[in-house]
């Protein structure tokens, strides 16, 4: 593989008390307020931001992305989660299907898995050849350098989870009717391939952890803490200011003076709750 073969050993997670819901919601609310300020700044200044989330199945990517986007505009914060490529896309240059989703001015694009599929799941599951992986690892740094030189702020996050916590989360998806859609046949097939994914991660980092597009690793044993940590980190990577806004004053309304509502036989939703 391209780059160094040095094995990357993750640091042991720090032992912290579980974060209570009340404290978590308080801290998350503060971060959401700051993300709204960031959103206004990005739109006002025409910034282009691209955030990549990678990690093993069950690492917490979806929950972190939801926490990042639930209080901002989907027209500014766009989430891209591409399905498996179709026949036409398979015939294209590998990176081509991702380029069209990159941010324009005033946009923050979030990739829920990205072009790094080739260095991870595609490699481990045998969906591409070793030569294709090698070529990708050689090309990705140049591709990302071109992104950065074009003015894109590129942030790459790897969510690191232990095998024990990953197994607990995957098993939880079997029994929780809200999460069964998250458990795909691919998750089951890849369950026994922990070491193969570790090797793929290490070689991916060795080739693509560059000065212009470094990888940031977030320990995700605690879902609440990793969400707060990643959101805080994103806010620190993009300098922004709280733009002044004009005071809002609602005018008086004249209800029922210009038009009288008709008596229509509306079909109301049953109030069962």
Report the pLDDT value the prediction gives residue 26, as an integer from 0 to 100: 97
Report the pLDDT value the prediction gives residue 186, as an integer from 0 to 100: 77
Q: Give me the helices (H) in the chain, please.
A: 21-45, 61-69, 87-90, 96-99, 121-124, 130-149, 163-175, 185-190, 194-208, 223-237
- DSSP states of 212-254: SS-EEEEE-SSHHHHHHHHHHHHHHHS-------PPP-PPP--
For the chain, the C-alpha Rg in angstroms (whole number) is: 22
The bridge status of strand 77-80 relative to strand 215-219 is: unpaired
Report the pLDDT value the prediction gives residue 3, as an integer from 0 to 100: 44
Report the pLDDT value the prediction gives residue 180, as an integer from 0 to 100: 85
Closest CA to 157 of 102, 205, 207: 205
Report the pLDDT value the prediction gives residue 50, as an integer from 0 to 100: 98
Task: Specify the DSSP element, H or E, that contains 129.
Answer: none
State phi, psi for 233 to the nearest 5 degrees. Answer: -65, -45
Predicted TM-score (pTM) of the model is 0.89
- DSSP states of 187-209: HHHHTT-HHHHHHHHHHHHHHH-
- Let me know: does 242 contact 44? Beta carbons within 8 Å: no
Report the pLDDT value the prediction gives residue 191, as an integer from 0 to 100: 84
Q: For residue range 202-244, list pLDDT tens digits in order.
A: 999 999 999 999 999 999 999 999 999 999 999 999 999 999 9
Among all chains, which residue has been given the structure tokens 């294709």?
Answer: 132
Report the pLDDT value the prediction gives residue 194, as an integer from 0 to 100: 94
Across residues 104-119, what is the average pLDDT? 97
Q: For residue range 60-88, list pLDDT tens digits in order.
A: 999 999 999 999 999 999 999 999 999 99
Across residues 119-130, what is the average pLDDT? 95
> Rounded CA gap, 184 and 173, in Å?
10
Joined together, the tokens standing for residue 239 give 């300098």
Across residues 174-181, what is the average pLDDT? 85
Domains in the chain and their CATH numbers?
21-237 (3.40.50.300)
Q: For residue range 24-38, list pLDDT tens digits in order.
A: 999 999 999 999 999
Q: Largest Cα–Cα distance in the chain? A: 76
Q: In sequence order, what are the beta bridge partners of 54? A: 158
Distance of CA 59 to the CA centre of its chain: 11
How many of the other CB atoms lie within 10 Å of CB of 225? 19
Averaged confidence pLDDT in the chain: 92
Please list, residue by residue across 252-261, b when 16 or more beta carbons sit within 10 angstroms of its beta carbon and e when fewer do: eeeeeeeeee
Q: For residue range 150-161, list pLDDT tens digits in order.
A: 999 999 999 999
> Rounded CA gap, 85 and 18, in Å?
40
């Amino acid at each position: 593989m391209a780059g160094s073969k040095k094995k990357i050993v993750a640091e042991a997670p720090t032992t912290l008390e579980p974060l209570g819901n009340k404290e978590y919601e308080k801290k998350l609310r503060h971060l959401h307020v700051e993300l709204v300020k960031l959103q206004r700044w990005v739109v006002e200044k025409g910034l282009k931001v691209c955030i990549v989330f990678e990690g093993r199945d069950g690492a917490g990517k979806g929950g972190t992305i939801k926490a990042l986007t639930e209080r901002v505009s989907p027209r500014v914060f766009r989430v891209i989660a591409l399905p498996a490529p179709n026949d036409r896309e398979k015939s294209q240059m590998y990176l081509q299907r991702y380029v069209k989703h990159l941010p324009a001015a005033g946009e923050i694009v979030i990739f829920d898995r990205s072009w790094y599929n080739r260095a991870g799941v595609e490699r481990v599951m045998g969906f591409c050849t070793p030569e294709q992986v090698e070529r990708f690892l050689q090309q990705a740094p140049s591709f990302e350098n071109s992104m950065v030189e074009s003015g894109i702020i590129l942030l790459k996050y790897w969510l690191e989870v232990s095998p024990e916590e990953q197994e607990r989360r995957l098993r939880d998806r079997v029994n929780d009717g809200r999460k069964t859609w998250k458990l795909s046949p691919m998750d089951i097939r890849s369950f026994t391939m922990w070491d193969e994914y570790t090797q793929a991660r290490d070689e991916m980092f060795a080739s693509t952890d560059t000065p212009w597009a470094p990888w940031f690793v977030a320990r995700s044993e605690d879902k609440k803490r990793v969400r707060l940590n990643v959101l805080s980190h994103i806010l620190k990577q993009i300098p922004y200011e709280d733009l002044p806004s004009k005071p809002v004053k609602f005018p008086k309304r004249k209800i029922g003076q210009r038009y009288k509502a008709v008596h229509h036989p509306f079909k109301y939703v049953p109030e069962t709750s």
